[in-house]
Amino acid sequence: MTMTVADLFPLLPLLLVTGTAVLVMTFIGIQRHYTLTVSITVAGLLVAAVTAAWMLLMGSKQGGWQVTPLLIIDQYSLFFTIVTCASAIFIALLSYSYLRQLPDQREEYFLLLGVASIGAVVMVSSNHFVSMLLGLETLSMSLYGMIAYPVHVKDSAKFPLEASVKYLVLSAAASGFLLFGMALVYAQTGTLGFTSLVSLTAAESAGLGVGFSTLALLMIIAGIAFKLSLAPFHLWTPDVYEGAPIPAAAYLATVGKAAMFVVLLRFIGMSDALQFSGVLLVLSILAGASILVGNLLALLQQNIKRLLAYSSIAHMGYVLIAIIADYHVEGSISIEAVSFYLLAYIIMTLGAFGVASAVSDSSSEKDHINDYGGLFWRSPWLAAVFTAMLLSLAGIPLTVGFIGKFYLFLAGVEASMWLLLGALILGSGIGLYYYLRIVYRMVMPVDESGQAHDEPSLGGYGVLTVLTGLLLFLGVYPAPVMQLIELISVGL
């Protein structure tokens, strides 16, 4: 299949994000100007998001556009393109004040952010291993630079280069698993497109048996599990989050995870992976282990970024429950539950990292729980936003986190997955403790020592206000978004 001029229309959001990165690179080469670079990045991503929203509301043709064998542009991919671009805009605005005092060149950070967003948009539109791998590596390679960006900052307590190298080495190992699994799929099917491995005859699969299909699927899932930091593939996560600058850690925790989960959802659906009992068992173990390991290890953390890292491990385990439930009950709300929870997770996690970014900068990060002691008395608004985000992560009613967990729980009940539901309830109970521990520190008496930077920039105020509004609105009235997700999930 060759690309035609007509294929450029469905690719418009991706082309706009790519054009933004090229424009940023051009302006950096002509004249360095920090504010202009940020403005171009935000404006370009905003235009891409608005274009994707227009295409989504206008409605794509039935089944979406298949642009060459590599990309499927349907309503589902357009929805997550909007989420990706909006999240990147928020992170760019948070990064503006965070990097403002960086004693180094700052503009290339936003070029990396734009290129990472290109990779994420490609991933959410992938139904082929080649486009999946290209998007994944584009995203990952940009993140290596974003994580190591403040390498010249003289702060012996921070190790961004070490975090970047750890992520690089272990990410390469995960890509090796992915590639080996892809090779086994190709040996059986003769194609690198996502396709069913269930109905292959002996002739079609070159004489390879079910064992090869199971092995291929397990190797691919192992590589994806690393990117999602599912236990026991999670060991890199707390160290990388701790060493990375807060906005880069926020991007890795939100856009990186959501794009990978969309790929996993498409792959499992199109390959019929859950029809293999070994794959179903492994996914169940990954879900249960991630929930328990993430929550239990978060109890021991005093560093905010490490705590949020272990929290993200648990949340990825929660989402995996709904994916598994889709096997047990045909026509369940599993896909809708996964999609809504990913949106909720991005809102909550961006808000939590946003508050940490607002009180920090590249030379002095406030990443210890004690740094937030008395925050309520110094900046009640920031403390209220942080409290709302933490309570939502814990699943307290009237927040988007509660609605998200409710849908996950409902999907699990439909599938009678009582053990995993028990793990979800237990993990949520444990999580409530370590989230409230931060809230408790914020209402403690004021400690003025070393607490100088507590007010966000104007952009930071805007980001946190929007995220808090979404958190409360979707926690009280989620119906419009759920109806949209139900509509775009048809045929996925």
Burial of 97 (0-12, 13-18, 19+ CB in 10 A): buried
Question: How does DSSP assign 358-393, residue by residue?
Answer: HT-BTTB---BGGGGTTHHHH-HHHHHHHHHHHHHH
Helix or strand (DSSP H, E) at 67: strand 65-67
- Cα(182)–Cα(192) distance, integer angstroms: 7
Tell me how far apart the 2 most distant CA atoms of the chain are, in Å. 74
The percent of the chain in helix, strand and coil, each rounded to the nearest 5, is: 75, 5, 25
* DSSP H stretches of helix in 192-303: 210-227, 237-243, 246-251, 257-271, 277-298
Give the number of other Cβ atoms within 10 Å of residue 58's Cβ: 8
DSSP reduced 3-state for 200: coil
First to last CA, the chain: 22
The token pair that represents 242 in the structure block: 């701790």
B/e letters for 220-235, b = 16+ CB within 10 Å, e = fewer, are bbbbbbbbbbbbebbe
Question: For every one of its 492 residues, what pLDDT tens digit does the chain have, with 9 covering 90 and above?
Answer: 566 777 788 889 999 999 999 999 999 999 888 889 999 999 999 999 999 999 888 775 556 788 888 888 989 999 999 999 999 999 999 999 888 888 778 889 999 999 999 999 999 999 999 999 999 999 999 999 999 988 776 654 568 888 999 999 999 999 999 999 999 888 888 888 888 777 664 445 555 567 778 888 999 999 999 999 998 898 899 999 998 999 999 999 999 999 999 999 999 988 888 888 888 899 999 999 999 999 999 998 999 999 999 999 999 999 999 999 877 666 667 889 999 999 999 999 999 999 998 888 777 788 889 888 888 888 889 999 999 999 999 999 999 999 999 999 998 888 888 999 999 999 999 999 999 999 999 988 765 544 545 566 777 788 999 999 999 999 999 999 999 998 888 766
The model's pLDDT over 110-125, given as tens digits with 9 standing for 90+, comes to 999 999 999 999 999 9
Nearest to 273 by CA among 333, 225, 230: 225
The token pair that represents 424 in the structure block: 């979800």
Nearest to 339 by CA among 172, 220, 482, 440: 482
The sign of the torsion formed by the CA atoms of 468, 472, 475, 480 equals negative
Give the number of other Cβ atoms within 10 Å of residue 108's Cβ: 17
Quote the pTM value.
0.94
The token pair that represents 289 in the structure block: 């282990």
Q: At what angle do helices 479-488 and 75-98 cross, to 10 degrees?
A: 130
- Cα(72)–Cα(491) distance, integer angstroms: 13
The model's pLDDT over 70-123, given as tens digits with 9 standing for 90+, comes to 888 989 999 999 999 999 999 999 999 888 888 778 889 999 999 999 999 999
Q: Position 328: which residue type? A: H
Burial of 175 (0-12, 13-18, 19+ CB in 10 A): middle
* C-alpha to C-alpha distances, 471 to 344, 351, 371, nearest whole angstrom: 8, 9, 25
Is residue 290 within 8 Å of residue 234, measured between CB atoms? Answer: yes
